[in-house]
Amino acid sequence: MAARTVPPDVMQPDSPSAAGAVHAELLILAELAPLGVLDSLEQHRLGRHLREGCAFCDRALDRAWRVLDVLALATPPLSPSPGARERLRVRVALAARTRFPVIGGS
Ligand SMILES: [Zn+2]
């Protein structure tokens, strides 16, 4: 198999290929977005790009959501490990006390 090479003009910011490289990055963001792994800057960039009307990335985002839906349905549900319910209950109770302290409570 031949090694993939990047055309030299892709790295030049003023070249037409630079816009293609930026779009390729946004396309990857569209494919990753349903996984919830984008940071706020990436979400903002992708959202702006989609609002500008890129149908290609919009379709990629839609396909990614459909793949995730199929994977979710194909994955058997897991039972929590022993003690997980109690650990979760304690964490929720601690978070609730921190956020909503009882006035006059002990
Ligand atoms: Zn696009």
For 49-93, the pLDDT digits (tens) are 999 999 999 999 999 999 999 998 998 888 888 899 889 889 988
95 part of a folded domain: no
CA of 60 to the centre of ligand 1 (A): 9
CA of 65 to the centre of ligand 1 (A): 16
Whether residue 30 is contained in a domain is answered as: yes
Residues in the 5 Å CB sphere of ion ligand 1: 54, 56-57
* Within-domain flag for 71: yes
Q: How many domains does the chain have?
A: 1
Per-residue pLDDT, 22: 87
Q: Which two tokens stand for residue 96?
A: 């609730």
- Counting Cβ atoms within 10 Å, is residue 45 exposed (0-12), middle (13-18) or buried (19+)? middle
- Any domain includes 81: no
Q: What is the largest CA-CA distance in the chain?
A: 72
Q: What is the DSSP letter of 78?
A: P
Tokens coding 80: 């929590």
Ligand 1 geometric centre to CA of 74 (Å): 29
Q: Which two tokens stand for residue 74?
A: 């194909």
Give me the domain span that covers residue 45. 1-76
In a domain, 61, yes or no: yes
CA-to-CA distance for 76 and 104, rounded, in angstroms? 47
pLDDT at 19: 80
